[in-house]
Amino acid sequence: MAIPSNTIVIADDEELPRLEPGRLRPQRASRRDYSYQDFESIIIESVNAEADTTPSRKRRGTETKEPSALDNAFGGLRKALDREIQLLQEKNRMLRDEIRLEREGHQKTQEELSQQRERRILGCSVCFLQPDRWVTILCGHIV
């Protein structure tokens, strides 16, 4: 009688990839091409099939149907909204013109002020100083 051994032998059918001498890593497999090969033909076929179909009875009926009350309500709301937008745009334009006129007036006033400073009209008649702020002191000078 033979005594069974305590050693298990596993026979592996698959072989490990062998490294070529001089290479440290195994070579990767090439990338797969996931693009559509006949993409244009698929598109052309679908366009042709779509052109051949006729709309169903239900769709043909909706094309000739008069606008519903909901469509009329939305149309009225859209017209009211368009009028409101137009009024707001006009108001915005007027306010922008008003701001522009005020800026031009402010600029003109600043130019006149700088001209008067150059002519020393705004200076004190005693000491001929032109301070940024005018304050009257006890001697009567405006400083």
Q: Is residue 80 one of the residues assigned to a domain?
A: yes
For residue 142, the enclosing domain spans 69-143
Q: What is the rounded CA–CA span in Å between residue 92 and residue 98?
A: 10
**Token output for 134:** 């005018």
Whether the model pTM is above 0.85: no
**Cβ-based neighbours of 51, under 8 Å, separated by 6 or more:** none
User: Tens digit of pLDDT for each residue in 29-80?
Assistant: 777 766 666 666 777 777 777 766 666 666 655 555 777 888 889 999 999 9
Q: Is residue 13 one of the residues assigned to a domain?
A: no
Q: Is residue 126 one of the residues assigned to a domain?
A: yes
Q: Is residue 44 one of the residues assigned to a domain?
A: no
Q: Is residue 45 one of the residues assigned to a domain?
A: no
**Token output for 85:** 């937008």
Q: In terms of residues, how long is the chain? A: 143
Contact in structure between 141 and 124 (CB atoms under 8 Å): yes
Q: What is the rounded CA–CA span in Å between residue 143 and residue 141?
A: 6
**Token output for 53:** 């179909």
Domains held by the chain: number: 1
The pLDDT assigned to 110 comes to: 92
